[in-house]
Amino acid sequence: MTYVVEAYNTASESTNKIHDDEVARAYGFRGGLVPGVDVYAYLTHVPAERWGLDWLARGAITVRLAKPVYDGHVVSVTARADGDALDLAVIDAGGDECATARATREPIDVKRPSPPTAPLPEHRPPASPSSLRPGTVLGSLTDVFDARLAASYLADVRETLPLYATVAHPGWLLRFANSILARNVVLGPWIHVSSDVALLGVLGDGEPVDVRACVLDEFERKGHRFVTLDVAIDGGCRPIQRITHTAIHTLRRLD
C-alpha cells in the first residue's frame, strides 16, 4: 500500500529555526525542515486506517527520521506487511528514504517507573550536558483535547481518516514530547530524530492531557549533542502514550 502526501512545514514561524529556510541552509540543508512529529503523523495514517481505534488504544510504532522532508514536496508512505506488523517508509520524489517505522498491534512493554510531576522552571537554562543530565525530571505540561480545534491540525498533517473527528491524533500527542523539552531548556535550532511510542489509550474530546518527562540519556555523536527523554502522556488519570523520544538538542554548525 502507498499513501501519498504533499508535505507541509507547519513550523516555519516557530522558535525552532531549523524550520526556517535561511537558518536551515546555514546548517547544510536545502531549506526549512518539515517537523519530524509531522512526518511521524504521515507514517501513522496506514496503521490507523488498517487497524482503527484498536491500534490507537493498544498498539505501538517505532520511528526513525533519517533525512529531511521539505515543504511542498510530494512524499510517498509505503507499507509492507510482515506478519501482524507493518514496515513503513517515507520516500521522497527523488527516491530517498527519509524516514522508516514499524507499527505493531502489540504495545511496547515499558518497565521503567513513570516520570513524576514537577513544576516548570521559572528561568529555563540553556540546553547542555548539565541541564539535560540523565535522571533530570522536567517540568510537566497540561492541556485539554478539543476536537473542534483539532480540524486545523488534521488539515496541516493532511489527515482525512474519519476516526479523528472525536479522538486525538497520535501526531498531535507526540508534539508534547517536543514541547516539554522546549519548555524546560533554551534551545537553538534542533532536530527530532526518533521516537518509540507505546499507544496505551484513546484520548477523547474534552479530556485533560497530563505530560511528564525525565531525561534518559544525553550524549555526543559526530559533533552533535543528543538527548533522549522518557515521556508519559496521560488523559483523565489513565495512560495514553509512553514515548522514548530522541532529539539533537545542539547541532554541530558548519563553518
User: Is the pLDDT confidence value at 164 over 70?
Assistant: yes
pLDDT given at position 237: 85
Please provide the average confidence, as pLDDT, over all residues in the chain: 94
| Lowest mean per-residue pLDDT among 12-16, 60-64, 165-169 | 12-16
CATH class of 2-108+117-250: alpha beta
Tens of pLDDT, residue by residue over 94-139, are 899 999 999 999 877 888 899 999 999 999 999 999 999 999 999 9
65 within 8 A of 194, measured Cβ to Cβ: yes
pLDDT given at position 107: 79
User: Is the pLDDT confidence value at 181 over 60?
Assistant: yes
DSSP 8-state code for residue 108: -
pLDDT given at position 14: 87
How far apart are alpha carbons 2 and 75 in whole angstroms? Answer: 10
Partner residues linked to 210 by β-bridges: 142, 234
pLDDT given at position 255: 56
**Of 71, 66, 65, nearest to 6 (Cα)?**
71
Residue ranges covered by each domain of the chain: 2-108+117-250
pLDDT given at position 254: 61
Partner residues linked to 6 by β-bridges: 74
How far apart are alpha carbons 143 and 204 in whole angstroms? Answer: 13
pLDDT given at position 13: 84
User: How confident is the model over 32-52, as a mean pLDDT?
Assistant: 96
| pTM for this model (two decimals) | 0.96
How far apart are alpha carbons 234 and 191 in whole angstroms? Answer: 25
Give me the percent of the chain exceeding a pLDDT of 70: 99
Position 142 confidence tier, pLDDT thresholds 50, 70, 90: very high
